[in-house]
Structure 1
Amino acid sequence: MSVEKDFVISVLIYSTEDAKSRSFLKLQFKGVKSILFTCDKSELEINLNAGNISNGYVKKNNSGAMIFRLYLVDGYIEVTYETVIITENE
């Protein structure tokens, strides 16, 4: 029996540098191989209004797997996956 392994991240982001408000973005990772997550909960709470996301990127590792890494104010989320579905303003 095969079990689908999904992981979802929902964020509010400024879609452009000139945007006046944040937009909802949902990232649904499919075929998840691994998830790494580390953070300082107190720092996330302190920076809630200013925003906790510093930056992020997607790359392919040496074995061909996709890696998404999202850097936070004090921590990061890393997902190794097969495909991702991105939904805006849902």
Structure 2
Amino acid sequence: MSRYQVDKLLRDIRRDNQLAVRFRDDIDSVLSNYKLEAEERELLKRWEIRKLYDRGVNPLLLLLAHGAAGKQMGDYGTAMNPRNVQGGE
């Protein structure tokens, strides 16, 4: 996993409102600007933040990007709870 590229993307969508809007509206065009593996692209497209975290993505960046990605902040805790992930403990 190219964690640096995922972290960079998350940081970028948090810092750049126009990029965040593009991420929400046309995610494929945004993802094409980053050197991501196919699995990373799919996890980002499905916004599987717990699986990204389990693969070493920075949790603070995930939290900050969650809102920028148009997700409800209340859903963050639910998504990060390993019991809510298929195959979780």
User: Which has the larger helix fraction?
Assistant: 2
Fold shared, TM-score > 0.5 on shorter chain: no
User: Normalising by structure 1, what TM-score?
Assistant: 0.20
More strand by share: 1
Give the TM-score normalised by the residue count of structure 2.
0.20
